[in-house]
Amino acid sequence: MRVLVSEELADRGLDALRAAGHDVDVQLGLSPAELLDAVKGAAALIIRSATKVTADVLAAAGDLVVVGRAGVGLDNVDVEEATRRGVMVVNAPQSNILSAAEHTMALLLAQARNVPQADAALKLGRWEKSKWEGVELHGKTLGLLGLGHIGTLVAQRAYSFGMRLVAWDPWLSAERARTLGVELLELDALVAEADFITVHLRKTPDSIGLIGKELLAKAKPGIRIINAARGGIVDEAALADAIRDGQVGGAALDVYAEEPTTESPLFGLPGVVVTPHLAGSTREAQDKAGITIAEQINLALAGEFVAFAVNVEAAEASEAVRPFIALAERLGLIFAELSGALPPRIDIEYQGALADNDVSLLTLSVLKGVLGASSEEPVSYVNAPRVLSERGAEVRESKTSTAHDYVNLITVRGGDHAVGGTLVGLRGEPRLVMVDDHPTEMPPARNMLIVRNDDRPGMIGVVGTIVGRAGVNIGDLDVGRMADGRSALMVMAIDEPVPGAVLDELRAAPGVLSVHAIALA
What's the CA gap between 505 and 16, in Å, rounded? Answer: 47
Backbone angle region of 222, left / alpha / beta, with phi > 0 → left and psi within -120 to 50 → alpha: left
Spatial CA neighbour of 225 closest among 197, 253, 195: 197
Q: Give, rounded to a whole angstrom, the gap between the first and last alpha carbons of the chain.
A: 17
Spatial CA neighbour of 374 closest among 340, 403, 405: 340
Would you please indicate which residues are annotated as catalytic (active-site) residues?
Answer: 230, 259, 277
Q: Per-residue DSSP letters for 111-141?
A: HHHTHHHHHHHHHTT---TTTT-----TTPE
Strand partners, 222: none
- Give kind and range of the element (H or E) at residue 55: helix 55-60
Alpha helices in 71-183 (DSSP H): 79-84, 97-113, 115-123, 149-160, 174-179
DSSP state of 77: B
What's the CA gap between 32 and 86, in Å, rounded? Answer: 22
Residues 174 and 202 sit within 8 Å (Cβ to Cβ) = no
Residues 340 and 404 sit within 8 Å (Cβ to Cβ) = no
279 vs 107, 208, 228, 283, CA distance in Å?
10, 20, 6, 11
Compute the CA torsion angle 199, 200, 206, 209 (nearest 10 deg).
30
Three-class HEC string of 251-301: EEECCCCCCCCCCCCCCCCCCEEECCCCCCCCHHHHHHHHHHHHHHHHHHH
Burial class (CB in 10 A: 0-12, 13-18, 19+), 246: exposed
Q: Per-residue DSSP letters for 434-480?
A: EETTEEEEE---SEEEEEEEESSTTHHHHHHHHHHHTT--EEEEEEE
Residues 364 and 385 sit within 8 Å (Cβ to Cβ) = yes
Exposed e or buried b per residue across 302-338, where buried means at least 16 C-beta atoms within 10 angstroms of its C-beta:
ebebbebbbbbebeebeeebeebbbbbbbbbbbbbbb
